[in-house]
Structure 1
């Protein structure tokens, strides 16, 4: 799974948007891509909603039981 995400990242950010001026430019582009990947990318298998929204809905609907230590 990690190899797939790394491949997407390299194809969509590193190779497409380069050459890079400096490390900070790469870092900022990476932060933008991760934000898009987690908060704005729509996934058909979960109802065409972003992963972060699906996670929020899951935990809102789940019965969370506090466990005693």
Structure 2
């Protein structure tokens, strides 16, 4: 298997895992909705929570937005060589 094929398989696996989480946590638990506007709001809120607020085990249970903020603040403190 080529490295490109391996990358595509790994990416596909991550997408399937993400969709499974999305479906289990949002669609199956919070639905059904009255109209498309409710669905759109629910999706926006869930994606915002997922990307910014959820505790992520690979990040030592720190929300992704906080982890990224701390990372970039740490980069600012490291002197850059010329």
TM-score category, normalised to shorter length: 0.7 to 0.9
Tell me which of 71, 76, 79 is aligned to 1:58. Answer: 71
Question: How far is the alpha carbon of 1:13 from its aligned partner?
Answer: 0.7
Point out the structure with max Rg over C-alpha: 2
Listed as ranges, the matches of 1:1-69 within 5 Å are: 1-62=14-75
Q: With structure 1 as the length reference, what TM-score do the two structures score?
A: 0.77
Query: Which piece of structure 1 moves more, 29-38 or 43-52?
Result: 43-52
> Structure 1: how far apart are the matches of 2:69 and 2:26?
27
Could you tell me which runs of 5 or more consecutive residues in structure 1 were left unpaired when the two chains were aligned: none
| Higher RCO structure, 1 or 2 (CA under 8 Å, sep 6+) | 1
Considering only aligned residues, what root-mean-square deviation do their CA atoms show, in Å?
1.9
TM-score by length of 2: 0.67
